[in-house]
Structure 1
């Protein structure tokens, strides 16, 4: 019994000593979350993937412009922008049309932007 108590004591001591950290960053992610806004996130996604067809004067069969904050917000509210960019690669109506589906992380940014009130 004494051997068991000693063994438990040393195992507990070992665990306590080995559970240390070198700095606060080991315990905390010190990155401040960035609020997703049109200006800091969404505009660059649209510019990189949509503007070639959805510019000031839409081309290649595009029916709407996505050049401004209001255009992009209206595209979600009235034309299902998120639905279109969320479709599977090659599905009818998938955007960008004829291109590669956006990475899910970019689609999630657009969804978060909408869910947080379309911050400009």
Structure 2
């Protein structure tokens, strides 16, 4: 029984000691893909906004959101980020008459803008 306890103690010590890292050179980098219009934002806009913000806007939409330049301009000059960030049911919330976009989706668009509008 004494040998079993000693063996367990040695094993636990080895496991705990092997979980240390004294150097950053052997860490694995997490390759997080940078958000871009093409790989992230375009599909969000196409699936949630282009119904009204088409090449020829309908239902009172003031501008098209069908291209990179359209979306970037709407963020910079038309308060798009503010409109999609309004609480559900508040006047001016987009998508108009629909359900507010989930916060993680809004966060992706905010990140895209803050990272410099990568195409």
2:14 to 14, 17, 39: 17
Q: Secondary structure at the match of 1:90?
A: coil
- Residue 34 of structure 2 is matched in structure 1 by 35
SS at match of 1:64: coil
Kindly state the Cα deviation for residue 107 of structure 1 after the two structures are TM-superposed.
Answer: 0.4
1:55-70 aligned within 5 A: 55-70=54-69
Find the aligned partners of 1:49 and 1:37 in 2 and give their Cα distance.
17
Q: Note the 1:1-120 alignment, pairs <5 A.
A: 15-19=12-16, 31-120=30-119
* C-alpha RMSD over aligned residues: 2.5
Shift of 1:17: 3.4
For 2:54 and 2:87, the matched residues in 1 are separated by 24
Distance 2:47 2:13 in 1: 51
In structure 1, list runs of 5 or more residues that go unmatched: 1-9, 22-27
Q: Distance in 2 between matches of 1:91 and 1:16?
A: 58
Q: TM-score, normalised on structure 2?
A: 0.79
